[in-house]
Amino acid sequence: MRETVKGRILSGMRPTGRLHIGHLQVLEHWAALQEEYECFYMVADWHALTTTFDETRELAQNIREMVLDWLAVGLDPKKSVLFVQSHVKEHAELHLLFSMITPQSWLERVPTYKEQVQQFSQAGKDISTYGFLGYPLLQAADILVYKADAVPVGEDQLPHLELCREVARRFNHLYRVKLFPEPQAKLAEVPLLPGVDGRKMSKSYGNEITLAASPEEIKQRVRQMITDPARIHPTDPGHPEVCVVDLYQKIYNAEAVADQEERCRRGQVGCVPCKNLLAEKISAALAPIRERRQQFAARPGLVAEILAEGAARAASVAAATLAEVRQAMGLV
Ligand code: TRP
């Protein structure tokens, strides 16, 4: 690992299988950070189990698919430590030790907690487990076991980071040490893209464009994108600010989007040609990713090797932290 000036980064993603272009923005942010920080990128398989404990058949495959997407997008095992959470047992030990000092009420009042339990319950699934309540605490352990300075995450994760800092402060205070830093969120500068229907992009809504999508699949998805509902005829003046195609063009057709918006407002371009152009742009952007992915996927043993090496490197840092933690807590 290279010595870096800016500090250490940790982030994680639950292995949900094939990633989509919403993830692409996140991953490009992760890839850019590799140049300036010491980065640890983790497959959060234990976190996945908090909600999918009863559907684990595809877990191993999902981990592999996700890591292939990571590599295809440019996460580089020579620059960053790529690993699987459950391969580094120190995360679990730190989680357990943190559980001794974390009031249950801190976890119960994390805003996403009750919300999620309710959402899952409406879908017929009970996730009011001990493990799910501890989700943010496990995340705090993930971050603090590497003493990470910054955590690239989406806004939805801010309450979890707040809890992480509270736990770090409490630990330092209780044991009169300066062991843990207070990690800060690093929000991506780009606004996250919605799904084609305008809702949050998610496999469960079926509104996503996967990274591995073929040009034909991309075309189909773009056709489903919601445009200005007030626009009936191509000559009606359009309102790009309420158009999903426009949001995508800002990213995938950045050089021409201003011009395209102007023509839309004047009723000089219809939604169909606009969508066709966007589909071409997205296909062109994803083509090199798709190719690289195929090359990585064709090398047997590659992902396993990368993850084994990543786990070893992560474990050596995590083990050193745990030695300090045990010492601070009188576990000698
Ligand atoms: N909770 C994160 C998510 O759903 C995933 C995650 C697990 C994570 N551990 C982490 C993110 C540590 C950042 C740091 O996206």
| CATH number of the domain residue 53 falls in | 3.40.50.620
Q: Does the C-beta of 94 come closer than 6 Å to ligand 1?
A: no
Indicate whether 158 belongs to any domain: yes
Same domain, 289 and 309: no
Same domain, 124 and 153: yes
Q: Find out whether 145 and 91 touch, Cβ atoms under 8 Å.
A: yes
21 vs 12: CA distance, rounded Å: 17
Same domain, 188 and 243: no
- Find the 168 Cα to ligand 1 centroid distance in Å: 17
Q: Does the C-beta of 47 come closer than 6 Å to ligand 1?
A: yes
Tokens, residue 245: 């195609």
Q: Note the pLDDT of residue 192.
A: 76
Indicate whether 94 belongs to any domain: yes
318 vs 323: CA distance, rounded Å: 9
Domain of residue 167 covers 8-192+300-329
Q: Find out whether 183 and 45 touch, Cβ atoms under 8 Å.
A: no
Which atom, in ligand 1's list, is nearest to the CA of 85? 9
Q: Note the pLDDT of residue 25.
A: 87
Q: Find out whether 243 and 275 touch, Cβ atoms under 8 Å.
A: no
Same domain, 238 and 103: no
Q: Note the pLDDT of residue 141.
A: 99
Same domain, 116 and 234: no
Which atom, in ligand 1's list, is nearest to the CA of 152? 13
Core vs surface per residue 261-291: b (16+ CB within 10 A) or e: bebbeeeebbbeebbebbbbbbbeebeebbe
Q: Which of 322, 298, 261 is nearest to 89 (CA)?
A: 322
What total number of domains does the chain contain?
2
Q: Find out whether 141 and 94 touch, Cβ atoms under 8 Å.
A: yes
Q: Which residues in the chain show pLDDT less than 70?
A: 1-5, 190-191
Q: Note the pLDDT of residue 3.
A: 54
pLDDT tens digits along 198-211? 998 888 888 999 99
Strand 184-186 with 150-152, pairing: parallel
Same domain, 47 and 178: yes
Which atom, in ligand 1's list, is nearest to the CA of 13? 5
Q: Find out whether 20 and 210 touch, Cβ atoms under 8 Å.
A: yes
Indicate whether 198 belongs to any domain: no
- Find the 216 Cα to ligand 1 centroid distance in Å: 33
Same domain, 304 and 284: no
Q: Is the four-CA dihedral 326, 98, 3, 68 of positive or negative sign? A: positive
Residue 93, CA distances (Å) to 86, 90, 105, 156, 253 in order: 11, 5, 21, 26, 47
Same domain, 258 and 148: no
Q: Does the C-beta of 10 come closer than 6 Å to ligand 1?
A: yes
Same domain, 156 and 245: no
251 vs 264: CA distance, rounded Å: 17
Indicate whether 1 belongs to any domain: no
69 vs 62: CA distance, rounded Å: 11
Q: Note the pLDDT of residue 302.
A: 98
Same domain, 96 and 24: yes
Indicate whether 36 belongs to any domain: yes
Indicate whether 197 belongs to any domain: no
156 vs 136: CA distance, rounded Å: 12
Q: Does the C-beta of 321 come closer than 6 Å to ligand 1?
A: no
Global model pTM greater than 0.85: yes
Q: Does the C-beta of 151 come closer than 6 Å to ligand 1?
A: yes
Indicate whether 323 belongs to any domain: yes
Element (H, E) at 185: strand 184-186
Same domain, 36 and 169: yes
Placement of tokens 């990543």 in the chain: 310
Same domain, 220 and 277: yes
Indicate whether 95 belongs to any domain: yes
Q: Does the C-beta of 39 come closer than 6 Å to ligand 1?
A: no
State CA 77 to chain mean position distance.
Answer: 18
Residues in the chain: 332
210: CATH: 1.10.240.10
